[in-house]
């Protein structure tokens, strides 16, 4: 059977043998959810997944008096079968004596009666286990988590996405760490559920970090953790991603979650920074594993950039002190009069004062030491020639972010290169330039200039050659020069 959608990423590795009608149904559901809901609807709710834990995890023993847990599932736009599978996996793989409740936070979804029927069915078998909180309008991820936390009653809250599958033994390692230290916020390792064929790929443990735009990143654990050569050991993490567990009371003591965040993005980074600055810590616990669907796209928010930028600026204003300029640089917006409404931050700043939280500089020096501080930045943004409008095809909001790359004159030929700055310094490459705003960009070693010239194909290109008097300006200056 020919494929009706040869350009759809859904059918790149999956879908052979489907009828035309099945392909249409699968593609339609894929566009709605960003994953293969058609296949999900055919899989058993209690499908058996491979145990991806390190073998040393299987030998660990946990206390019999672990704290109870409320599991909070946040959903905005999920297929019914995916939510059902998340619920079933939590029930199957969490000891009954520990699982106090599962709270479904409906951020204005349209599943309605089909999901309610499933909730009623579960509650008939296990009275009171499932609770649902419904928003009458879409409130966003941070507010949804707040709603779940406010309705939780167990000792510990675990906040999960609804497109996950809990695996065997996921809860006990998290609860064990919180029992030992109520101020630690813990995260499992996320194994990847592929959006197309829904198979699970084992991910190796990493800590969670972020860049200055406040996008989440994976980071290596500390050298001390690596030296132990024991993947079953928890590792300290600078930040936390969207799935975590915390002592319910402690989370409230440090301000819960920031309800001023909108839609999606930055709320995890904000929590991670606040936990570290205000008396807690964050760990990734490799013996706890959650299988998590990585969507091909987020249908409810095709362009996350506006909300992410706004939330990042909010985090910067409250928590980053003198380093907040780095967020402006990352988003290529002016340091003054950026015209982005970040909401009222007065209560969050009062919270910081009340909790006597540490300065952000302490965090950079003691927690996230690998995050480049951009201390030597003089300017940022578009570098434009007075003679030509180079890179004029950039659309609004688009940016090039080349972290820690240096412009190098190779010394021969006409093509400049971008090299990793430490490597360029070690290899003594021609990476130092003379420049004043509105003048030429001249390499100190070669005395050649960065210029724009028309190539053989009539397109203008960036080159290095003997100086002809071209002048440049940087869009935003931090220091006048």
- For 63-113, the three-class secondary structure string (H helix, E strand, C coil) is CCCCCCEEEEEEECCCCHHHHHHHHHHHHHHCCCCCEEEEEEEECCCCCHH
Q: Which of 112-126, 172-186, 196-210, 290-304 has the lowest mean pLDDT?
A: 290-304
Which pLDDT tens digit goes with each residue over 178-194? 999 999 999 999 999 99
Instruction: Please indicate, yes or no, if residue 409 is contained in any of the structural domains.
Output: yes
The residue among 407 and 394 whose pLDDT is bigger is 407
Q: 289 and 409 share a domain?
A: no
Q: Of 376, 478, 393, 388, which is closest to residue 437 (Cα–Cα)? A: 478
Q: Domain ends where: 293, 310, 341? A: 293
Domain count across the chain: 3
**Shared domain check, 265 and 180:** yes
Residue 308 lies in a domain: no
3-state secondary structure of 188: strand
Report if residue 335 sits inside a domain: no
Q: Is residue 309 included in any domain, yes or no? A: no
- 23 and 92 assigned to the same domain: no
In a domain, 49, yes or no: no
**What's the length of the chain?**
481
Considering the chain, what percentage of its residues have pLDDT values greater than 90? Answer: 80
In this model, does residue 445 exceed pLDDT 50?
Answer: yes
DSSP letters for 239-253: B--S-EEEEHHHHHH
**In this structure, are 23 and 61 located in the same domain?**
no
Q: Are residues 384 and 440 in the same domain?
A: yes
Residue 94 included in any domain: yes
Share the mean pLDDT of the chain: 92
- Choose one of 293, 316, 344: the last residue of a domain: 293
Full-model pTM: 0.90
> Does some domain include residue 348?
no
pLDDT at 256 over 50: yes
In this structure, the answer to whether residues 166 and 95 fall within a common structural domain is: yes
Structural domain containing residue 117: 55-293
Residue 59 and residue 165 in one domain: yes
Same domain, 288 and 402: no
* Within-domain flag for 391: yes
Residues 108 and 226 in one domain: yes
221-244 pLDDT, tens digit per residue, is 999 999 999 999 999 999 999 899
Which CATH number is 245's domain given?
A: 3.90.550.10
Looking at the fold, whether 94 and 136 belong to one and the same domain comes out as yes
């Amino acid at each position: 059977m020919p494929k009706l959608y040869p350009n759809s990423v859904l059918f790149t590795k999956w879908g052979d043998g489907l009828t035309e009608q099945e392909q249409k149904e699968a593609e339609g559901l894929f566009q709605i959810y960003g994953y293969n809901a058609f296949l999900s609807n055919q899989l058993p709710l209690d499908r058996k997944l491979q145990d991806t834990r390190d073998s040393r995890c299987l030998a660990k023993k946990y206390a019999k008096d672990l704290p109870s847990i409320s599991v909070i599932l946040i959903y905005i736009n999920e297929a019914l079968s995916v939510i059902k599978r998340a619920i079933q996996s939590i029930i199957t793989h969490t000891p009954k004596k520990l699982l106090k409740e599962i709270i479904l936070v409906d951020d204005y979804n349209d599943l309605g009666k089909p999901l309610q029927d499933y909730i009623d069915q579960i509650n008939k078998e296990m009275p009171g286990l499932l609770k649902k909180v419904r928003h009458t309008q879409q409130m966003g991820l941070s507010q949804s988590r707040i709603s779940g936390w406010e309705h939780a009653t167990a000792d510990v809250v675990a906040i999960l996405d609804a497109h996950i599958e809990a695996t065997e033994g996921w809860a006990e390692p998290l609860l064990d760490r919180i029992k030992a230290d109520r101020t630690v916020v813990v995260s499992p390792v996320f194994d990847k559920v592929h959006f197309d064929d829904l198979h699970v790929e084992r991910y190796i443990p990493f800590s969670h970090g972020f860049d200055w735009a406040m996008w989440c990143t994976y980071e290596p654990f500390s050298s001390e953790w690596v030296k132990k050569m024991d993947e079953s050991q928890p590792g300290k993490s600078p930040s936390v991603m969207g799935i975590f567990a915390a002592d319910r009371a402690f989370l409230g003591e440090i301000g819960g979650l920031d309800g001023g965040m909108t839609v999606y993005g930055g709320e995890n980074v904000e929590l991670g920074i606040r936990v570290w600055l205000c008396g807690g810590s964050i760990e990734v616990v490799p013996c706890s594993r959650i299988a998590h669907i990585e969507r091909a796209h987020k249908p409810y928010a095709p362009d996350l950039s506006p909300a992410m930028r706004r939330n990042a600026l909010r985090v910067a204003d409250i928590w980053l002190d003198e380093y907040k300029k780095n967020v402006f640089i990352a988003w290529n917006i002016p340091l003054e009069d950026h015209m982005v409404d970040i909401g009222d931050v007065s209560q969050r700043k009062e919270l910081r004062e009340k909790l006597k939280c540490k300065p952000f500089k302490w965090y950079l020096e003691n927690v996230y030491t690998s995050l480049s501080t951009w201390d030597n930045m003089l300017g940022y943004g578009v570098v434009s020639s007075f003679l030509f409008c180079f890179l004029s095809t950039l659309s609004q909001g688009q940016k090039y972010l080349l972290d820690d790359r240096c412009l190098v004159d190779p010394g021969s030929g006409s093509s400049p290169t971008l090299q990793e700055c430490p490597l360029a310094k070690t290899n003594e490459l021609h990476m130092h330039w003379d420049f004043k705003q509105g003048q030429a960009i001249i390499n100190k070693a070669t005395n050649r200039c960065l210029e724009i010239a028309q190539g053989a194909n009539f397109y203008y290109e960036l080159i290095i050659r003997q100086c002809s008097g071209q002048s440049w300006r940087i869009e935003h200056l931090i220091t006048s020069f």
